[in-house]
Chains A and B, each alone.
Chain A
């Protein structure tokens, strides 16, 4: 599987997806851990100012992307780019040839993390994986919301 990501230009297939269930489990466990951490950090006083609410909102969103990036790890260019951004490191070099304008990929390379440094094939591969992870992350967040809106007793 790893050899495919080293030769993105030569492969016509997307690299074989890991079993989606294991990915989702990894995503879920990391995200839930991050949420727990956030909860402990929260100030106990109930009335929260609007600024505090916005801060919490941003913190949860950051936790979502952070757990996505760390669950995937350095295996993917987009997750590497996200991890670099989180650690405050510099971005990777821009793609010098800039072949991305060829097929109208210029919007896509702005949306996918790290897209500006990729060639067209890699960008399309990365986009596919990024979408799958985003979808899984959204599912997890929905499931958490739904499970807590139903009865609050534990089983």
Chain B
């Protein structure tokens, strides 16, 4: 990834520096599930963004899958009442 040291190209608007972006990207990296054994290795921003996209997509798929299973659960009588009570107690 080319590291352009260019400052803002838009005259008059706030300047977003590369350092700002890199800082935010490194904070994003901390949110990602660590798949590899090496922790706190500085990954390239491109890699972090790529993994972020993949992570969000996998979360969307999980929501989809869990929705399907929950919708099947809804068919059974009385489950929702028990879920409600149990989940509220678990919080």
Chain A residues in the interface with B (C-beta under 8 A):
9-10, 12-14, 21, 24-25, 28-29, 32, 35-36, 38-39, 42, 46, 48, 53, 56-61, 64-65, 97, 99, 102-105, 107-108, 111-112, 119-121, 124-125, 127-128, 130-132, 134-135, 137-138, 140-145, 147-148, 152, 154-155
| Residues of chain B with a CB closer than 8 A to A104's CB | 1, 45-46, 49-50
**Does any Cβ of A come within 8 Å of B35's Cβ?**
no
Bits for B73-91, please: 1 = Cβ < 8 Å to A, else 0: 1110011111111111011
Bits for B37-48, please: 1 = Cβ < 8 Å to A, else 0: 000000001100
Are A46 and B14 touching (Cβ within 8 A)? Answer: no
A111-B57, A124-B28 given as contacts; is B49 within 8 A of A35 (CB)?
no
Chain B residues in the interface with A (C-beta under 8 A):
1, 4, 10, 13-16, 20-21, 23-25, 27-28, 31, 45-46, 49-50, 52-53, 55-57, 59-60, 62-64, 66-75, 78-88, 90-91
| Residues of chain B with a CB closer than 8 A to A102's CB | 4
Least Cβ–Cβ distance between B28 and chain A, in angstroms: 6
A60-B71, A145-B69, A147-B90 given as contacts; is B49 within 8 A of A107 (CB)?
yes
